[in-house]
Structure 1
Amino acid sequence: MTVTAEHSTHDLRRRLTGHLVAEGVLRSPGWIRAFSTVPRERFVPAFTLRTADGVRGVREGDTAYLDTVYSDASLITQRDTSGTATSSSSQPRVMATMLEALPDDDSTSVLEIGTGTGYNAALLCERYGSPNVTSVDIDPDLTAAARQRLHAAGYAPTLITGDGTAAHASDGPYNAVIATCGLPRIPQDWLAQVVPGGTIVANLGYGLTVLHTDEHDTVQGHFLPEMAAFMTARGSSSHTNGGHQGDMAALMRATGSITTVHLQCDVTAPMSRFLGGMLHPDTVDFTLTGEDGHVVHIVQHPASGAWARMTMHDTEGARIDYDGPGGRNLWGERLPLMTAWAEAGRPGPERYGLTVSGDGGHTLWLDGPGGRSWELPA
């Protein structure tokens, strides 16, 4: 790079960091320094992003490359043969939100699940030092590329190619675990990888949760106000979605049992999606408009074949058609949780919390572990 280019990237890093500080998601001096220092462009030489005009490809040397790298945007850096995104550099706002939830201690040892581009690992190294950072990714191509980019940027964390949802205790137990991929549940193997009093920061469905361990192999904590959804972790079958969306036209025609319901909330609102994701981490949701003009909300469970189709009559009334093993009604399972949310005054995600027991059981609760709670299915 020329001196002019280095000055340019320095100014762009400072601009992005200032934006995150102004937004209130970046607060502590350690993380402000990390975002101001780590060169994001070293980790994303080429990427795609979604714009109003569709998906656009950007690579190093393009006119808008550096401005886009230092925008508050998620950058897709890898897709599989079907075109599905499998790796990205996450939106800096969400990264800052999750990193700020980690311990504010220079000696923190941290296990990152999902190395991806290596940029988040570089931020961790800048904050805590390379010897204190271990990062795991299931994709050998990603870990190989990240190792080269991290080394070129002056960082040398321990990188492991493997299933991040399983145990990796070579450098553990750790003071903290942070997952940069989406998870249906907190893997039970993680509980033994965090010291008592340690921290787990993870994305479950549309929620970002910060949990703390105790001496009884239980983790517990609240969700953050920010909501986000990461790419689902690629790993053991017990921690993946386990299926693909079925034919939408067929689901629109499918017949089954019928019931009608009175709604107290918008089932597509962010909090409805948050609660639905907590209860059903392995379903597919989509909204369509039928030939008659009615809006239709469909929930499908690919692994079992269960489905439920909600056809809106008006803002408060709907018909539900459903079928599945044992007559399962997916919308019928969700609506009590959504109704309880509406009756509680429509609180944000920060009033909800999660307890994960030593045997892997997950309990969602409102306002405190002793408040109203719901056992979540495995």
Structure 2
Amino acid sequence: MTDQAQLHQQLVDRMMANGSLRTESWARVAEAVPRHEFLRGGFFRRAADTTVTAWEAVHEGDDGWLESCYADESLVTQIAGTIVPEDIRGRITREPTSSSTMPSLVLRMLEDLQVEDGHQVLEVGTGTGYSTALLCARLGAGNVTSVEYDERVASRARAALGHLGTYPALVVGDGLLGHGAGGPYDRIIATCGVRAVPTAWVEQTRPGGLILAAVGGWLGSSELARLMVHEDGTASGPLLGGGVSFMLARPQLPPPLGLLPDLAEGKERETGTGADVLADWTSRFVVQLAVPGAQRVTLRRDGRIEDVLVDVETGSWAAVWWDGGRWLVRQAGPDALWDRVEEQSSRWCAAGAPLLEEFTVTVTPEGQALHW
């Protein structure tokens, strides 16, 4: 057995042993698709000896390249929307914009999708093409359509899939619009995060079909939702739990913060809801529903740490900090952001602080709603 084959088998065995890969049928699929074929362009590794988040390129043949391809971890494949490993010799400090998701999460999602033989599947977010290849190995390439927003990313995925002799329908475009020409679909799966499940996906899915996507927002908490499409053109279903995290679809990325407001202005008062609600994954998800247009910044100011929420569109903001035994908030703008946070957190706590698995997502032609 070659080093590559051994590493590949070890990855599958680990996923089966720890329960992240749960079915024999998908285990056979995982064994059939070599992940390294989709990472020949390299990836970015977080630099260890720096005080800021920096990335350095790892190229095919470098020490650790093959081992990382078969580690159960996500690997960044693009930075700042255009920069790939072959563009870099050294380090870069910009934000990641594309990655190869950790195999255990990819396979968990594919199992949660509950596909059956003959199903037509739309994948939103081709990425490297690894998850696309897994779908093709399970259903046949003729049953798989995949949409990728970034033309350069799509081209690399097409080449990798072609190298393996796999030819699904690959489309370059805005996946939030789906791909009506290939529908209707039995299943839609998104490998990017969305702030809300698009109504186009519901319209392009057969009644009884399923949509699987990570629903989240600009405060960085997200969760998998699995929705069934109904005869009346609506869809509903639960959050599945597990705290998954995906990069948001590019058209839904937050606007630049620009200059921060003058945090010395605004009305100051005591609050019973502290910034710790922003630290916990579940409570942050709940808060996010109340202030969907807000982004978070953490600052050191006047000798203290302040958590600041800023809504660029409305100009509203709220700064919260701990002041020797009590929480204080100062806020300004047309929307009292922290008032909304307090109200939402109080309602959630009064209901017994239900877990995200107890939430239901509903999508109608008017939009998306979440409730517990």
Task: Verify: 1:29 aligned to 2:24, yes or no.
Answer: yes
Equivalent in the alignment of 2:229: 213
Query: 2:275 aligned with 1:269, yes or no?
Result: no
User: CA distance change for structure 1 residues 264 and 84 in 2, over 3 Å: closer, same or farther?
Assistant: closer
Residue identity in the other structure for 2:7? L
Partner of 1:15: helix, strand, or coil?
helix
SS at the partner of 2:21? coil
Question: Which blocks of at least 5 consecutive residues in structure 2 are unaligned?
Answer: 83-92, 217-221
* Residues 309 and 319, structure 2, Cα contact 8 Å, conserved in 1: yes
Q: Work out the percentage of aligned pairs sharing the same amino acid.
A: 35
- Structure 2 CA distance, aligned partners of 1:214 and 1:314? 53
Q: Tell me what 1:365 maps to.
A: 371
From 346, 355, 368, the equivalent of 2:353 is: 346
Evaluate the alpha carbon distance shift between residue 344 and residue 12 of structure 1 in structure 2; reply closer, same or farther with a 3 A threshold.
farther
Equivalenced residue count is 350
Aligned to 1:78: 78
Cα distance in 2, alignment partners of residues 337 and 155 from structure 1: 48
Q: Residues of 1 paired with 2:229 and 2:324: CA distance?
A: 46
Q: TM-score, structure 2 length as denominator? A: 0.87
Equivalent-residue separation in structure 1 for 2:292 and 2:35 (angstroms) = 31
The corresponding residue for 1:231 is 247
Q: Please state if 1:11 is matched with 2:6.
A: yes
Instruction: Compute the displacement of 1:120 (Å).
Output: 1.1
Q: 1:253 to 1:202 in 2, by over 3 A?
A: same
Query: 2:88 matched to which residue of 1?
Result: none
RMSD: 2.2
Equivalent in the alignment of 1:369: none
Q: Which residue of 2 aligns with 1:162?
A: 173
> SS at the partner of 1:224?
coil
Could you say what secondary structure the match of 1:199 adopts?
strand
- Post-superposition offset of 1:284: 1.6
C-alpha distance after superposition, 1:43-86 (max 9, x if no partner): 11211133644534211101211111111211111123683322
Partner of 1:313: 323
Select the residue among 104, 108, 119 that pairs with 1:97. Answer: 108
Deviations 1:125-171 (A, max 9, x none): 11111111100012111111111110112211100011111141122
C-alpha distance in structure 2 between counterparts of 1:28 and 1:105, whole Å: 13
Q: Which amino acid aligns with 1:243?
A: P
Amino acid corresponding to residue 45 of structure 2 in structure 1: L
1:120 aligns with 131
Whole-Å Cα distance in 1 between the matches of residues 43 and 3 of structure 2? 20
Report if aligned partners of 1:220, 1:355 keep a CA contact under 8 Å in 2.
yes
- Where in structure 1 are there 5+ consecutive unaligned residues? 367-378
Structure 2 CA distance, aligned partners of 1:210 and 1:126?
22
CA deviations 1:318-354 (Å, max 9, x no partner) are 2221122x2x122221232223333344333111121
Could you say which residue in structure 2 is the equivalent of 1:355?
362
How far the C-alpha of 1:314 sits from its partner, in A, is 5.6
Determine if contact 1:169/1:193 at 8 Å carries over to the other structure. yes
Alignment of 1:47 with 2:43, yes or no, is yes
TM-score (norm 1): 0.86
Name the stretch that deviates more: 153-162 or 303-312.
303-312
CA drift of 1:251 comes to 4.5
